[in-house]
Structure 1
Amino acid sequence: MTAPATAGAAAPVVSAFGVGKRYGPTVALADVSLTVRPGESHALVGRNGAGKSTLVSILTGLSKSDTGSVEFGGEPAPPLADRDGWRQKVACVYQHSTVIPQLTVAENLFLNRQSGKKFMISWNRLRRQARELLDSWGVDVDVDTLAGELSVEDRQFVEIARALSYGARFIVLDEPTAQLDSQAIERLFDRMRELQASGVTFLFISHHLHEVYEVCEAVTVLRDARHVLTAPVADLGRADLVAAMTGEQGGLSVRDAAERDPLEAGAPEALTVDNLSGDSFSGISFRLRKGEVLGLAGSNASGKHQLAETLYGLREPTEGIIKIDGVPLKPGSVPAALKAGIGCVPRDRHHQGLVLGMSIADNATLSVLDRLGPAGIASPSARGGNARAAIADYGVVAAGPDQPVSDLSGGNQQKVVLARALASDPRVVVLINPTAGVDVKSKEALLAVVDRVRAEGKAVLIVSDELDDLRLGDRVLVLRAGAVVAEHRAGWSDGDLVAEIEGVEIGD
């Protein structure tokens, strides 16, 4: 992708000058500046808690900075109360969709902007305008489809089209690839390039640094609420980028399973799966031994997530047997899985892993309340003591056990989810996308815990889209179209594994 030729002459699409923001004693941003040029894709990266979300809330008019200023095209940003003015300048497509699932695509596109006379909506005109809008930006979805039935990819395109319909040509993409498989990611990147050629500018936020190098021309790094650097992506090595984010030299430190001693021969089976079939998978069989890490790889359509959720009881299989330490597991029951000794980090921490309105102490002890007090009623001191131990053991950065988990960064929230999964001392640990949406150092900390529990003799199943997560595996099974198509021993190459996942052959 070529940087726009007018980048030096045209006014920046957006400029932030010396922006600062405090929430009580907490400094969320300190003297941060940002310049995004017309037609570029500009990455904003940093560890969780670095200040990215606060800066985005200021750039999109959701909050006001305490110091500094924001300009669009060289003109001051609209007043905070002028929502239409902000919509014409900037829009944000968040990781978690803001479309209303019960409404159609057309209704979502023109919510509160329906055309008609005397308070009556002209539905034919609404559908026609929606179709024209989607066609103009190359979005191929049915305008009468309920938004909740769309794929994650199509929901994102609808949200981008909605933003463009207000006149905004500056789009913030907040972790847009977190829930997409590799093919959908490539389609998103292709659409970004097409939109850039049409004059649209992107601020791209991602924890996947390889995506920054693939799709962005410039990158800005925040660390500890401060601006660290802005540079052309082509001029910044990956190790230097990680060092700017963390303040430390070097890249992600992940212990590859090939570098440790092989599993002892004859280690007993902890998890046995025989001919298991269910939603999106069929005929799956494998063995997982104590002290072993098994990876499950595949696209989002491979059935890997559904398989993992079936093992934990979130889904019921149509046939097959699951055994824990040789004892058959009651299918389709989370309580039965917990009782049998399975701990799980679910796929979506916000909707499945945490109760966001509750404290760290409440969340960290949800799986062991029966052990902390009679009839599952645990005293505040028991819950607090357990949570303080979890905060220390898992390196959760928090004010204390009573802090709401909603106040924590993504990495610290995920540490709380992992602490809860391991609180019951399970025999088998199922981890679904355990490092999704967390920064480099949080990822290292989470994977270090996984390696620790493996060394303690627990059996670990890692289901992930991240190759770094899968490197901990003694073996990696590749699923495609609901079936196991390959098995790779530790020491696999990225190219071989990705080729299996995508179903392509690497030439000699």
Structure 2
Amino acid sequence: MSEADRTVLSMRDVKKNFGPVAALKNMRLEVRPGRVHTILGENGAGKSTLMKILVGVHPPTEGRMELDGQPYLPQNPTEASQRGLAIVFQELSLCNNLSVAENIMATHEPARYGFINDRKLRQQAAELVANLGLPVNVDAKVGQLSIAQRQLVEIAKGLSHPAKVLILDEPTSSLSDSEAEILFGIIARLKARGTAIIYISHRMEEIMRLSDDITVIRDGEYVTTRAREDTTIEELIALMVGRRMDEIYPPALEPLPGLSTAPVLQVSGLTRAGEFDDVTFDLCPGEIHGFFGLVGSGRSEVMSALFGMREAQGEIRVDGRAVRFRNAADAIKAGIGFVTENRKEEGLVLGAALRTNISAAAIPAFTGRAGFMNFGAERRAALAEVQRLAIRTNSLDTLAGTLSGGNQQKVVLAKWLLTRPRVLILDEPTRGVDVGAKFEIYRIIRQLASEGTAILMVSSELPEVLGLADRVSIMAGGRITATVAGTDLTPERVMAYATGTLK
């Protein structure tokens, strides 16, 4: 048997029950060395449970696993690592108060006589970062890094363990195109060494570029495994969601009659030293105005300033009236909502009920003159948003942290829709959600625009920006280099402005 035909990791008829709930049913998987094997499925399909079984977080209820032809049943992640299986989780497991080097080498720090050798630790981490070509400083505190930089550190941490099988869970979810290219180069080198890679992503173009084999799962069950060259994006989407989706981006809807054509938001000369300079644009009711730029371009920082989270110079007008936001509360009162890119840390209280999260930004609407909360009105309003956005939950009292990524994102949307915003800022609105949930979120965005909500949308996914935006402002080096629309709104032109090759 050739090396290419050898199976390094296999699962046969694996099941996992949590009480009466069957999370996995009859799962099958065969992973070969030197190949990228993608696991494809909607949020809630069972991918996370599958990965946790592989790394020893959960034992399977039934079934058999083998690693290099030997029975494999790790009792914990440490044992899985010792057997040669490493994982880079989508949810960051870093300590913000420690340095990059300390995070990378955590659990296997070089030590002698029980004392950590700090010099050797830093040296080993620096060598790994240099070999991987990662743009991070090993001495920096992780808490000072951007989300994208933290994701790169998480990848380095996973690669610090020698592995026969490496699991990458949504590794590009917060990376720019240039940072993703760094990762793709790393994957190519690992494949050349014979490392087997299990890859999880919702970005279909990325999957078709990287994958050798693709296994589709749906509702906890194995559906099929296809070689990449034997399938198409359309076929994979149909297999994954159980229905065909001929159009990923729904068409624009007819606007409600009588919508004003006057700008609802006017921004002039917005500047914050070291982050962005002279940002000027306007936004009309019912318009989807995209903001695109590489990481570090200043796009998210501008959105934070518009929501009162960053102090900036310049002029902001809402409905023609000059405003100055001292904080987010001022922005909310002016009719601005903000769906953050980091929903788990900034958008949700994971340990609180879905109902509480939805009403969090609109509490004054449910508080009477005596200061008492009208919980009945709150529940009715939350239920209306759950139904409107098709949030999948058994109860309004379900904890937000137990929902799938797509449903969590819809809860964040529901929170801001309850404030009835005139302007809704969407910063990476589909980060880390599957293609089915993306389609639903795109539908919601289109519906809001048709009802007159003015939308500012930041996305690092260029097809998403092109598929939804009426106009796109491109940022590079903290400045808007161009605003394009109509026939000028092409991938080539947008990327040329974003990279500075066209000015």
- TM-score, with length taken from structure 1: 0.91
Q: Within the alignment, does 1:344 sit opposite 2:338 as a pair? A: yes
Residue from 477, 499, 502 that aligns with 1:502: 499
Change (3 A) 1:30 1:143: same
CA distance in 2, matches of 1:465, 1:480: 13
- Map of 2:225 onto structure 1: 230
> How big is the shift at 1:418?
0.5
Change (3 A) 1:159 1:463: closer
- Map of 1:274 onto structure 2: 268
Change (3 A) 1:349 1:112: closer
What code does the residue aligned with 1:323 have?
R
Q: How does 1:202-217 map to 2 (within 5 A)?
A: 202-217=197-212
Task: Tell me the SS of whatever aligns to 1:368.
Answer: helix
- Map of 1:195 onto structure 2: 190
Task: Tell me the SS of whatever aligns to 2:79.
Answer: helix
CA distance in 1, matches of 2:449, 2:159: 49
Q: Within the alignment, does 1:83 sit opposite 2:81 as a pair? A: no
Q: Within the alignment, does 1:7 sit opposite 2:4 as a pair? A: yes
Task: Render the CA deviation track for 1:217-266: whole Å, top value 9, x for unaligned.
Answer: 11111111111111111111111111111111234431345x86899997
What code does the residue aligned with 1:321 have?
E
- Map of 1:283 onto structure 2: 278
CA distance in 1, matches of 2:364, 2:145: 40
CA distance in 2, matches of 1:131, 1:490: 47
CA distance in 2, matches of 1:195, 1:152: 24
CA RMSD of aligned residues (A): 2.7
CA distance in 2, matches of 1:97, 1:479: 27
Q: Within the alignment, does 1:357 sit opposite 2:322 as a pair? A: no
Q: How does 1:33-432 map to 2 (within 5 A)?
A: 33-81=28-76, 83-131=78-126, 143-149=138-144, 155-156=150-151, 158-257=153-252, 267-278=261-272, 280-317=275-312, 319-374=313-368, 377-432=372-427
Task: Render the CA deviation track for 1:423-481: whole Å, top value 9, x for unaligned.
Answer: 01111111111111111221111111111111111211111122224422221111111
What code does the residue aligned with 2:205 have?
H
> How big is the shift at 1:193?
0.4
Residue from 468, 474, 480 that aligns with 2:476: 480
What code does the residue aligned with 2:331 have?
A
Query: Which shifted more, 279-288 or 204-213?
Result: 279-288
CA distance in 2, matches of 1:376, 1:346: 29
Change (3 A) 1:82 1:181: closer
Change (3 A) 1:143 1:320: closer
CA distance in 2, matches of 1:504, 1:248: 41
Task: Render the CA deviation track for 1:151-182: whole Å, top value 9, x for unaligned.
Answer: 65665555445444443221111111111111
Change (3 A) 1:87 1:351: farther
Native 8 Å contact 1:435 1:443 kept in 2: yes
Aligned residues: 499
> How big is the shift at 1:68?
1.1
> How big is the shift at 1:330?
2.1
Change (3 A) 1:454 1:179: same
- TM-score, with length taken from structure 2: 0.92
Native 8 Å contact 1:87 1:167 kept in 2: no
Task: Tell me the SS of whatever aligns to 1:365.
Answer: helix
CA distance in 1, matches of 2:246, 2:226: 18
Identity of aligned residues (%): 34
Task: Tell me the SS of whatever aligns to 2:281.
Answer: strand
CA distance in 1, matches of 2:284, 2:135: 47
Change (3 A) 1:88 1:137: farther
Change (3 A) 1:247 1:117: closer
Task: Tell me the SS of whatever aligns to 2:3.
Answer: coil
Gaps of at least 5 residues in structure 1 are none
Native 8 Å contact 1:365 1:387 kept in 2: yes
What code does the residue aligned with 1:281 have?
F
Native 8 Å contact 2:151 2:174 kept in 1: no
> How big is the shift at 1:22?
2.2
CA distance in 1, matches of 2:249, 2:172: 22
What code does the residue aligned with 2:482 have?
A
CA distance in 1, matches of 2:349, 2:88: 24
> How big is the shift at 1:25?
3.5
Gaps of at least 5 residues in structure 2 are none
What code does the residue aligned with 1:498 have?
M
